[in-house]
Amino acid sequence: MKVFDKIADVQNEIAQLRKQGKTIGLVPTMGALHEGHLSLVKRCVAENDVCIVDAFVNPTQFNNKTDYDKYPRTVEADAKLLEGAGAAIAWFPTESDIYPEPDTRVFNLGPLAEVMEGPARPGHFNGVAQVLTRLFDIIKPDRAYFGEKDFQQLAIVRELVKNYNIPVQIVGCPIVREADGLALSSRNMRLSADERKHALRISKALFESLKKMDTMSVAEVRKWVCDEINSEPCLEVEYFEISNSLTLQPVENWSDAENIVGCITVYCGEVRLIDNIQYKKA
């Protein structure tokens, strides 16, 4: 595996690979890698001649400076994990490389960005669009891989490449969970041992809610999940939306859409955790 930090170096390497007719897959990350990221890397390795992984904590997608400052940065450990997972190139760009000057672009992301994380984190998805369009322009990958844990982000990335005619195939990959059900997240390493135990209530409530579709309305399930999680010490639901999986607009009835997703964000102490569940009709 080759490790780069400068854009010029990674682009020179890509140019040589393109001359050899190699297909290139990209896994964009913010580092602090875990098995969830590695599942994306392994799929990318399987489906492309070359797998490139970048690890860049993007400042423009944080609307909370404290969250940005505390976001885990584990470059050496990340490099070892990526080599073990079969990545061909690990790229750790600097902020000055990604943003040689302030990025003032504003993207039209439509209704998908106006719900859930949109109001909760103003400017977040615009920052995601800024960094991804930079990465896609620099790497020009054939495919890019994203986890379904960030369900809304994945939907917006698909809309972004369609609306802005970016020639890359977006591949979504399933959520990876710990054996006890907790969705893997880089933020989990910020949880204390007690907080980690309390956080299990999030996935537990989501999975239990699947059994209540036959006897409860959408509104009742929403309230039940929020009450279950909020009853746990140190947990506070920021939002829980049950929505059409394609439009991300809230549904009122289980029959309102063919595919329905429940997306949740919960504060566990100071750590903000997200998760989601697919509601399947029997």
Q: Which tens digit of pLDDT belongs to each residue from 30-42? A: 999 999 999 999 9
Does residue 32 come out as left (phi exceeding 0), alpha (psi in the -120 to 50 range) or beta? left
Specify whether 155 is located in the same domain as 266. no
Judge whether 250 lies within some domain: yes
As given in the structure block, the two tokens for residue 178 are 């710990």
Judge whether 49 lies within some domain: yes
Specify whether 73 is located in the same domain as 161. yes
Is 86 buried (19+), middle (13-18) or exposed (0-12) by CB count in 10 A?
middle
Specify whether 91 is located in the same domain as 48. yes
pLDDT at residue 281, rounded to an integer: 74
**Among this protein's residues, is 198 annotated catalytic?**
no
With a threshold of 0.85, does the pTM exceed it?
Answer: yes
- Torsion 62-67-68-71 (CA) sign: negative
Low-confidence ranges of the chain (pLDDT < 50): none
Judge whether 153 lies within some domain: yes
Buried b (16+ CB within 10 A) or exposed e, 243-278: bebeebeebeebeebeebbbbbbbebbebbbbbbbe
In angstroms, what CA-CA distances link 209 with 55, 72, 115? 35, 32, 22
The secondary element (H helix, E strand) that includes residue 5 is none
Specify whether 158 is located in the same domain as 270. no
Calpha distance 139→176 (Å, rounded): 26
Calpha distance 129→148 (Å, rounded): 17
CATH of residue 224's domain is 3.30.1300.10
In angstroms, what CA-CA distances link 217 with 48, 153, 248? 44, 27, 18
The count of domains in the chain is 2
pLDDT at residue 282, rounded to an integer: 61
Specify whether 75 is located in the same domain as 201. no
Specify whether 150 is located in the same domain as 204. no
Residue range of the domain that includes 146:
2-173
Calpha distance 273→231 (Å, rounded): 16
Judge whether 281 lies within some domain: no
Specify whether 156 is located in the same domain as 242. no
pLDDT at residue 280, rounded to an integer: 85
Q: Are strands 50-55 and 24-29 parallel, antiparallel or unpaired?
A: parallel
Tell me which of 127, 148, 173 is where a domain ends.
Answer: 173
Specify whether 6 is located in the same domain as 116. yes
Calpha distance 200→229 (Å, rounded): 9
Specify whether 231 is located in the same domain as 123. no
Calpha distance 225→221 (Å, rounded): 6
Judge whether 158 lies within some domain: yes
Tell me which of 127, 144, 173 is where a domain ends.
Answer: 173
Specify whether 195 is located in the same domain as 144. no
Residue type, 51: C
Judge whether 282 lies within some domain: no
The residue from 34, 37, 124, 198 that is catalytic is: 37
Calpha distance 279→253 (Å, rounded): 12
In angstroms, what CA-CA distances link 18 with 1, 51, 137? 17, 13, 15
Specify whether 78 is located in the same domain as 193. no
In angstroms, what CA-CA distances link 79 with 7, 187, 266? 17, 19, 30
Strand order in the sheet with 235-244: 235-244, 260-268, 271-279
Is 94 buried (19+), middle (13-18) or exposed (0-12) by CB count in 10 A?
exposed
